[in-house]
Amino acid sequence: MKIAIYPGSFDPITKGHLDILKNAAGIFDKVIIAVAHNGEKKGFLSVNERVELIKQSVNGLENVEVDAFEGLTIEYAKKHGAEILIRGLRAVSDFEFEMQLSQTNSALCEDIKTVFLTTKPKYNFISSSTIREILNNNGDISKFVPEPVFEYLKNKGRE
């Protein structure tokens, strides 16, 4: 059984993340999408909110689980019997950071491999940070995020 972990901040999950996740779910037996707690960075959404929105967005993907974790990704992967980490690549600008991250993980644990996936071109430019920026300026994010995220953030803005 090939288990893959798709780790990230997902603050919030976007259609780009979802496309990567669907591709991974088609390749591996089980994919765990896992929100990383980042102690240093105060997020836009809480980890619980992010997990809940991912759960609502992945409805229908039967071999996908949603979770959150703290600490090293490789330790989390080992604990779940996963040998694969999924990461997405958008542009050359992602490459340097992603390469360094995957090589660090592989130096820490050589059994764990990183697999890079790309999205459909129409989702390629989407990032959580630009979505937060659009929201801050009262712009329309409906094209960029799954429906449950759109509804949640629309209502959250009114609070």
**Which of the residues are catalytic?**
17, 41, 90, 128
Distance CA 35, CA 48 (A): 9
Q: Nearer to ligand ADP by C-beta: 39 or 158?
A: 39
Residue 6 near residue 33 (C-beta atoms within 8 A): yes
Among 18, 24, 49, 87, binds ligand ADP (CB under 6 A): 87
Does 17 bind ligand ADP (CB under 6 A)? Our answer is yes
Among 63, 102, 114, 124, binds ligand ADP (CB under 6 A): 124
Q: Nearer to ligand ADP by C-beta: 20 or 31?
A: 20
| C-alpha count within 13 angstroms, C-beta hemisphere, residue 4 | 23
Distance CA 54, CA 32 (A): 11
Residue 33 near residue 68 (C-beta atoms within 8 A): no
Find the shortest distance in angstroms from Cβ 123 to ligand ADP: 5
Q: Nearer to ligand ADP by C-beta: 30 or 87?
A: 87
Distance CA 4, CA 28 (A): 7
Q: State the residues that interact with ligand ADP by CB under 6 A.
A: 8-10, 14, 16-17, 20, 87-88, 90, 94, 98, 119, 123-124, 126-128
